[in-house]
Amino acid sequence: MSLLSTRGLSRSFAGLRAVHEVDFDLPKGEVRALIGPNGAGKTTFVSLLCGRILPTSGQVFFDGRDISALPAHRRIGLGMAYTFQITSVFSRLSAYENVALAARRRVHGRAEVDRVVMRALEQAGLHDRPDQPAGDLSYGHQRLLEIAMGLAQAPRLLILDEPTQGLSDGEVAAFKALIRGLKDSTTILLIEHNMSVVMETADRVTVLNFGEILAEGTPAEIHANAQVQAAYLGTG
């Protein structure tokens, strides 16, 4: 059964079709990568899924429920968590405090919050930086902190928009291991330009181009797809 799906999902801005009649299905327990050239509509599509913007037409379903008109905070309450390309950490708070704010949405009591926070920081590779102000972290570490904030919510669906942007090679390797470790407990939608991350972590890949789905398949199938090569991978 699909945890997340869309039917005829569209969004236009001043007559420009950013997303056009997208039918999309993400089964429970899958890691799905969403790729496409710049301007393909990926971030707009994800914003529609999360409720940051509402569709011009079409529907979004989460676990069988029509959530097309729900605001973002209500979707979070249903079990969706997401990070975006622009970091949204609280720069004056410590890494621990940032994650604790997210954790308190679902757990209470100092001991339980502490357990959840330290577990999320450990998963994100930030267990040695709990007291560091978020604003003092590198850009890459701020991205990892956002992921920790998402993990602290124990989401049913984790949406990550360009999570490896700004990460070092070692941090990217750790991120791949993190995604593999989450596969048994969390459905993941990953918007990513780093093709090694896509090829090594995704079960399936969806390719957007000009706001429409160009292709879907396994990483190997997408890599071999001539249309995708021409539109995105720069060959053919």
Q: Terminus-to-terminus CA distance in the chain, angstroms?
A: 36
Are 81 and 158 in contact by the 8 Å Cβ rule? The answer is yes
**DSSP element (H, E) containing 120:** helix 110-123
- The pLDDT value recorded for residue 149 is 93
What does the pLDDT profile of the chain (236 residues) look like in tens digits? 899 999 999 999 988 899 999 999 999 999 999 999 888 999 999 999 999 999 999 999 999 999 999 999 999 989 999 886 556 799 999 999 999 999 998 899 999 999 999 999 999 999 999 999 999 998 889 989 999 999 999 999 999 988 998 889 988 998 999 998 888 889 999 999 899 999 999 999 999 999 999 999 999 999 999 999 888 755 44
In a domain, 138, yes or no: yes
Q: Give domain status of residue 110, yes or no.
A: yes
Q: Is residue 152 part of a domain?
A: no
Q: Is residue 199 part of a domain?
A: no
By residue range, what is the domain housing residue 104? 89-144
Assigned domain for 213 exists: no
Tokens of 21: 């009649």
Q: Is residue 6, in this structure, part of any structural domain at all? A: no
Output DSSP code: residue 94: B
DSSP alpha helix (H) spans, 51-94: 72-78
What is the Cα–Cα distance from 143 to 129, expressed in whole angstroms?
A: 14
Domain count, the chain: 1
Tell me 233's DSSP state.
I
In a domain, 187, yes or no: no
Strands (E), the chain: 2-13, 16-27, 31-35, 57-62, 65-66, 80-83, 157-161, 187-191, 204-209, 212-217
**134 within some domain:** yes
